[in-house]
Structure 1
């Protein structure tokens, strides 16, 4: 054996006392699974603007390698947990509707196999949330959704079909959720239309603008949001990274000024993860091909760690 040769891509420095967060990912063997599952959904052909978000699942997994498993703030070390990585769902090469059907079927199947698991989904553009939630909800009953987003994503389906601007309208109009089961946080000026704001209000959607986030405080908004969803059995959190100001998420296709700062988003995820009803999260709308120094993927990886840090003491081994 030649001592200093390693498999390609693995000739990196290692410290015996440090565990990197990407080491928590364990490929699914088709049978056994941990209490935390992760699945990639590499779809971005449904985006109404140019997007390479299909490359994001692998970019976010790789970004986990930038971090350790130890939280100095809490003393929690995630090194002893395992995340079952189910891999990525294979998309149809040309048919968006068939791709979304595959997503719903696949998520439904894996959640049925391991219904008690926490679920982390890596998009993809925001169109994936509709089929993912549709598949996940079948095992959960009445669910609520908390959506971090600059946009309503309540666009009509006649003008473009099932795009990344329509996921929550589709969930409402197909009866997966009622409008009162959706809370939107971080809606931004000059990013939406009056018609879709009115549609949301008519359907009972709870909406918080980014101005309200800073005027009321994220702790108050999260507390109010969970009270709004008090009668659901489980809560799904959807994080569209364009809720963030462009300074914190340059890799979003729909960047813009005046958004949320990263610390506020991370605090919100921490607060939500403390509630046992919160059982799933997705992260969408990152295009690694336009990111700067992987800033946006790194932040997405931190969102995962923040979520798991709060959940680690609440889940069975």
Structure 2
């Protein structure tokens, strides 16, 4: 594979020459796709940089493995997704022991895809949340534009990398302290409960991060909250990077998330939010992080939820073009 720091994925399906009706026959390897892709998918299989014990590095492979269970037709929206061209660029090459080098590979691969395919939406499948800082830095290198962050997360992820290193609790702080993203251009929806210590709130307030608790979002309507956040960012930035930490989900529906908590989003709320997000043209990049398949039950409910969430975002992208 000629794409920079990207290799064929650990797991992939044989593509079918027939008209695709299931996801595993619809998504095409990037080097085989005939026309310019609408969305480029790539994996960042790393979890050694996670604060909590995590097998999130396993998710890109399990994510692809689960495609066979999903059709390309969305019954709720009466939409077939197959006209939307999705290309799989494979997985970023990871060093076995060097986390910083692996992070550099993610940054360079993200920059390469953004530069070579400027009209495609990029979608990174993590991996832990440390990968987000790498991807955003890479995109910033090539686009030279103001980037906003819409974060769906239980946590602020502004812990100090000077204490922890570039771990999964630090990506938003890395981007703000590194002048890659302005704090005022970060909106976090999904915060709740007892999972962000006061010093982290102080940092967020000092840097004007816009914090929307899940309680507030539910009160004003989650869809309205997401729509308002994207409108606010659209007035200030050139493009938006959406990061979906799967720990935003309630622990009851997401056993396969290392840092899942009670009081989080329902699966239906996440699906509705992503359908709305996909419809906004300012969104050019998205990631899904912190899902550990090894913690799932035998029915793989969290992995299935992750694939469904991704397809909801794509459905929104298709609705955007109508």
Structure 1 residue 74 displacement after superposition: 2.2
Which residue of the partner structure matches residue 302 of structure 1?
308
What pairs with 1:155-170 in structure 2 (closer than 5 Å)? 155-170=159-174
Q: Aligned with 2:295: secondary structure?
A: coil
Distance 1:25 1:179, change over 3 A: same
Show CA shifts across 1:155-197 (max 9, x none): 0112211000000000001111000110001112111110011
Taking the aligned partners of 1:31 and 1:296, their CA distance within structure 2 comes to 30
Show CA shifts across 1:33-77 (max 9, x none): 412100000010000110000000111112222110111222210
Show CA shifts across 1:179-230 (max 9, x none): 0110001112111110011100110100011211222211221132123212
Which residue of the partner structure matches residue 3 of structure 1?
none
Larger radius of gyration: 1
What pairs with 1:65-214 in structure 2 (closer than 5 Å)? 65-140=68-143, 141-214=145-218
Taking the aligned partners of 1:259 and 1:110, their CA distance within structure 2 comes to 33
Structure 1 residue 315 displacement after superposition: 5.6
Q: Aligned with 2:66: secondary structure?
A: helix
Are 1:49 and 2:57 an aligned pair? no
Taking the aligned partners of 1:295 and 1:250, their CA distance within structure 2 comes to 8
Taking the aligned partners of 2:42 and 2:107, their CA distance within structure 1 comes to 12
Taking the aligned partners of 1:202 and 1:275, their CA distance within structure 2 comes to 29
The answer to whether the 8 Å contact 1:269/1:306 transfers is yes
Which residue of the partner structure matches residue 27 of structure 1?
29
Structure 1 residue 258 displacement after superposition: 0.8
Q: Aligned with 2:105: secondary structure?
A: helix
Taking the aligned partners of 1:83 and 1:100, their CA distance within structure 2 comes to 25
Structure 1 residue 22 displacement after superposition: 2.1
224-233 or 301-310: bigger deviation: 224-233
TM-score, scaled relative to structure 2: 0.90
Taking the aligned partners of 1:10 and 1:171, their CA distance within structure 2 comes to 36
The answer to whether the 8 Å contact 1:154/1:200 transfers is yes
Q: Aligned with 2:149: secondary structure?
A: strand
Indicate the RMSD between aligned Cα atoms, in angstroms.
Answer: 2.1
The answer to whether the 8 Å contact 2:20/2:26 transfers is no
The answer to whether the 8 Å contact 1:24/1:81 transfers is no
Structure 1: runs of 5+ lacking an equivalent: 1-8
Which residue of the partner structure matches residue 5 of structure 1?
none
Q: Aligned with 1:158: secondary structure?
A: helix
Which residue of the partner structure matches residue 5 of structure 2?
none
Taking the aligned partners of 2:27 and 2:69, their CA distance within structure 1 comes to 14
The answer to whether the 8 Å contact 1:180/1:203 transfers is yes
- Tell me which of 212, 223, 227 is aligned to 1:223: 227
Show CA shifts across 1:79-115 (max 9, x none): 2333110000011111111111111011101211101
221-230 or 245-254: bigger deviation: 221-230
